[in-house]
Structure 1
């Protein structure tokens, strides 16, 4: 282990060690006044965020300490996938039998001992590991041209997980699972003509679905069946935020105000106006708007640069490691981080519909923070493995 710690990838470690404390500070800043106004402890969400960060760091250390080949062993991958399926199925059942348990129109969390677990966060990593496991073991089948034989199992798993996420309903989570699947198919070795066909087909289906939701009436059968009225309001508010400010557009409108108030250098830490009852739950998926108001464009840029370094490093490690399964894991994790940042920033700028996707390492949310840190541990493990491979190659040559 001592030798392995000497191979730590500081391009991953340093950004994470900067982002996690900054995230905790911003969670406290965004939530403390709101909690105090309702008579709760101002440090409630800060303490939870710190607890989740500690758990996540332990998880990252454990993931880093594992032998790299464990990450694509059958038992490890199937255990993670089975646990994810069980938890996702529980949420679907809760959605059917206890619709009153919905929060913001969705049943996406399981409460255990005062803490909540969001299984869709586990599903992202489980899907990445499963795709890497399948495609890594079936490279010879891909080379032989039997593409659909290799594609069928992971696509079935991906569709089931996306379906269960959509039934919660968590459109953001389902979209992230979709994009992770598409990227991993594209880099698996399957010819681009097949990949583009799959991507084009799924994109067309998604576009038709979005247009249907945007134009559907409140009495449409699909909305009644899956109780998607809240999601419909979000789609409409995306198109007309100011006209529908009282019907789902308030978050986006106040996000604009927060960003405008901040300017280049911000109003100062703790001095946000929009977090004081204007921007709902500002410590979650709209926390970057509060960062913009308090720390300005400069503060937002620093955060996005640090996240960009992590994303680019993920892909670079994937290009350097010679083991196919490990390379695919890196591409999958890099895609997961990129899509989350893209959806979060696009939502608060009004470029995309609001999907409730949190900003990695910054937003309040235990499941996302823990899974993100475990993913960093996996990347650092693979990076160390790649460095060891390169050193052995030099010795042999």
Structure 2
């Protein structure tokens, strides 16, 4: 059991139950006319199920993850759900909110196919990249029936089909539109490509092109065509980052009041339960802006400890990936670490006004069933790989002693 991952994970889960209740009871009683404990019960249910799924993934057979029927079945289901929610979101308001079609209502629970996509992309990329290492990591020029063939052509040929499939998933997520989910998936692809042996120049080149394009388009829209952004909810949230106080009555409200909450909390906070901004000032403060409530009530110190626990998990996962003997294990670890770290970066950046608000949750802490359950499964996979790698190292040491 890897306690440097298990203990912070369990601590964050317990902490999430406390903070979701603390941040939600005022909002849900006034805005939704529900019982004060309604979101406490939901989050506690998600946490219990999430921990069960984490242990199930930990004790599962790794070979199952690589079975073709499982992997391609998971891929097919994810693509179907992404298309399903995209189509129905345009005609049924139950499948959309704030201009995005990203949820499938299942009674009290809302399934987000975009969260499933994050895990399936990691599993699929790790499997494909590890099996095709000899085509990806080799360099120089090889010869075939058509003559000399540079290594990058061989790499493209070996990965063309999988990347077409992955591109389709990214486009479906972007069309919801879920810009935060799209950016996270893109970063997962880039990091796993680099880790699998792709040319660093090529991977960084694609990353540079992506950011240059994104910054150029954003700058153009903000400076020259603000009316284009102003027509959509997502666009107005982007504009709110540039001048939140100018839009403090609508899309800038979350960010402005988040800043007030952080300022009010100071270094050590005003005390658990004593925050003011959660009482109707920050919309749905128990979701992607829960860190502002944590900072107001527990101070900057509390926020640093919370984010620090997440970073500890990420650092440990990266270390497992570095030490892993199996390429497949390494790629899984790098993909999961990227998912958690980028999601944390987007959330913290949005809360403090450094990044646009994309609705990305704070891993393991924010209210949200789909995100918490998928991340819990990912933690279970990490614990599984960690245990396998430890057993392998013990067996190797025993073999050396007997030799």
Partners in 2 of 1:164 and 1:138 — Cα distance?
26
> Which of 236, 240, 246 does residue 237 from structure 1 map onto?
240
Give the alignment of 1:61-80 within 5 angstroms. 61-80=55-74
Tell me the equivalent position of 1:5.
Answer: none
1:49 aligns with 2:43: yes
- Indicate the residue corresponding to 2:143 in structure 1: none
Q: Is the CA contact (8 Å cut-off) linking 2:245 and 2:256 kept in structure 1?
A: yes
* CA distance 1:98–1:335, shift in 2 (3 Å): same
State yes or no: 1:315 paired with 2:315.
Answer: no
CA contact (8 A) 1:184 1:331 kept: yes
Aligned to 2:52: 58
Q: 2:222 pairs with 170, 192, 214, which one?
A: 214
Please, which moves more after superposition, 31-40 or 228-237?
A: 31-40
Q: Note the C-alpha offset of 1:311.
A: 0.4
- Checking the alignment, whether the CA contact within 8 Å between 2:96 and 2:103 is kept in structure 1 is no
Tell me the residue number matched to 1:378.
381
2:17 alignment counterpart? 24
1:274 is the counterpart of 2:277: yes
Equivalent residues of 1:135, 1:150 under 8 A apart: no
Residue 341 (1) aligns with residue 335 (2): no
The 3 A distance-change label for structure 1 pair 47 and 228 is farther
1:164 matched residue in structure 2:
172
Distance in 1 between residues matched to 2:201 and 2:24, nearest whole Å: 49
Moved more, 376-385 or 39-48: 39-48
8 Å Cα contact 1:271-1:294 kept in structure 2: yes
Q: Secondary structure at the match of 2:173?
A: helix
Q: Helix, strand or coil: the match of 2:259?
A: helix
Q: Distance in 2 between matches of 1:132 and 1:216?
A: 42
Q: Distance in 2 between matches of 1:204 and 1:154?
A: 25
Task: Kindly indicate whether residue 366 of structure 2 is the aligned counterpart of residue 363 of structure 1.
Answer: yes
> Which of 49, 68, 75 is the equivalent residue of 1:81?
75
Alignment match, 1:197: 205
Cα distance in structure 1, aligned partners of 2:330 and 2:290: 32
1:218 deviation in Å?
A: 6.7
Q: How does 1:243-254 map to 2 (within 5 A)?
A: 243-254=246-257
Partner of 1:181: 189
Contact 1:15–1:306 under 8 Å retained in 2: yes
Q: Which secondary structure does the structure 1 equivalent of 2:288 belong to?
A: coil
Q: How far does the alpha carbon of each residue in 1:243-269 deviate from its partner, in whole angstroms, 9 at most, with x for none?
A: 121231111000000000101111111
Partner of 2:266: 263
* Number of the residue aligned with 1:9: 2
- SS of the aligned residue for 1:164 comes to helix
Instruction: For residue 138 of structure 1, report the CA deviation from its aligned partner.
Output: 0.3
Q: What is the rounded CA distance, in whole Å, between the counterparts of 1:233 and 1:248 in structure 2?
A: 6
2:251 counterpart SS class = helix
Q: 2:99 aligns with which of 95, 105, 124?
A: 105
Cα distance, 1:215 vs structure 2: 4.3
Structure 2 residue 29 is matched with structure 1 residue 36 = yes
| Unaligned 5+ runs, structure 2 | 139-150
Q: Secondary structure at the match of 2:250?
A: helix
Indicate how the Cα distance of structure 1 residues 243 and 228 shifts in structure 2: closer, same or farther if over 3 A, else same: closer
Q: Distance in 2 between matches of 1:228 and 1:114?
A: 31
Q: How far off its partner does 1:209 sit?
A: 3.3
Secondary structure of 1:111's match? strand
SS at match of 1:304: helix
Give the whole-Å Cα distance in 2 for the aligned partners of 1:356 and 1:186: 28
- 1:30-53 deviations in Å (ceiling 9; x for gaps): 000122224310011111111111
* 1:101 Cα deviation from its structure 2 partner: 4.7
Deviation of the 1:296 alpha carbon? 0.7
TM score, norm. by length of structure 1: 0.93
Q: CA separation in 1, counterparts of 2:224 and 2:55?
A: 48
Distance 1:252 1:329, change over 3 A: same
Cα RMSD, aligned residues only: 1.7
Aligned-partner SS, 2:286: coil
1:212: how far off? 4.1
Gaps of at least 5 residues in structure 1 are 1-7
> Size of the alignment, in residue pairs?
385
Distance 2:313 2:289 in 1: 21
Who is 2:162 aligned against?
154
Asked if 2 retains the 8 angstrom alpha-carbon contact of 1:31 and 1:42, the reply is yes
- Tell me the secondary structure at the aligned position of residue 247 of structure 1: coil
